[in-house]
Structure 1
């Protein structure tokens, strides 16, 4: 009886609920986020109103407007139209363009390749420019030169992308005539038939992230340079290039690699401004043109693709951070 009473009075210990694997949780987050994106995108285009009159023109008859609405399903309730659009996405059907009267995928597919190449070029440019400058600044620059570099990065970071693009176009494209201001030559041939057409829009997009990566690399390099093992390497007579590349860079790089992964997602959002500014025939320019012409199916498909790429890039960067950081990797198990 005593033992039973003691057992009865003993508080029961509850086992902690078993957590889902990290990748499963990330996948669930991806699905929920993409669903929310579809609701927002379709809701915004529905709020914009009926595009039939704008597309057909002011001289279109009521019968023509009614026929247009019936062909494109605009006479149905908003909820029914959303469910039809969502069902089409699961079947791989992005809908019919209002302007071309053809499949939306046929309108988007020629623009996809140039935009992907442009984003990759901008990201690589960020790595090649920002990491060496940040490392050099953290290891060697002091005093006025270091302050000047910091001030310059702050100035560049303060300018909007379209202002940076205009400055680059005026200086490099018009005054010096080094690079073409008009990037429409990309559409005249293959992806790499006019490589110079990628340069100005690529630099414009990269400048949105370069200042941040420089400052981050500089701070990490300076912190690592003050460590005891680095000072010991200096006392052993290790040369400065070897000290920077073999001792400081490998230990200062992990946070920068993480930031570069996260910044890749940010570059996707920059293509709209840069492509529109330089006439680059990519997804960003098509999105701006389709929004101006009220071509809702193309706008919805492009916004969904850009949003999905942004979310996937962010989640992939988070996953990389977790699995390369031992503490975080143990915490999510």
Structure 2
């Protein structure tokens, strides 16, 4: 038998043997003997070869618990080279145990990077199985392990589940590239909810400019009767972005965004402050009458009747009306 069986490259060998195990189950002892020899041909093992051989035989007959026990025994007795560690990892993967498979594949790949492809294959298979049973935590764990072996690996069918799991766990920055990949893959068939979630993730990390891009896209995809939540988010994010832009001296762009907050009328509780901020920008731009008109609206939109913005708006309105251009830092335009 040994004269006709050639060793397979380790990273491909276990994939081949997995198919042989199924044949061995059907053909009983004859298949078992063949599969055992094939398993032994995969690697040049050191350490406790008898435990490894017994593990191979147990794996061939489908007794994964016995196989795992033998492989673990071999590792404890000194067979801690990459082939032995990979046997342990692959057995854990066959049993659906994600964390243990990832741990032992990590040790194996550290010993011999040639096993990375086998590790990725098993971990991606585990990730898909986790996705199919709605185990998003298992999906994330398996894919993180796969990406540790092949950084940058992308699986389009995994992008959205990964994005949502990271989003739900509050890891918004990690969620973003997966939302981007998911939306890119959908192209014309983009789901509105996915677009909204992407915007919310950008919002959570403080990137209102990109958040607004997705919020506005989502708003166009839904009916006007469904827009209350996204209008609130657009209004809030626009006001925050306007403040940042004003601090940077970008008054024209700041005005565009604060006007969007006022146009949508959301958040309602912030409309008084939004009109004051718009008036101040207009004043700085030298648009004095427009600034006065904006100040004049503060009392109308104030919901409390006691807002300090009302008093501020009246004072600034009177200043512009009766005193003319301000001197001393109240705006370079009016």
TM over 0.5: no
Using CA pairs below 8 Å that are at least 6 residues apart, which structure has the higher relative contact order? 1
How would you bin the TM-score normalised by the shorter chain? under 0.3
Quick check: which has more Rg, 1 or 2?
2
Q: TM-score, normalised by structure 2?
A: 0.24
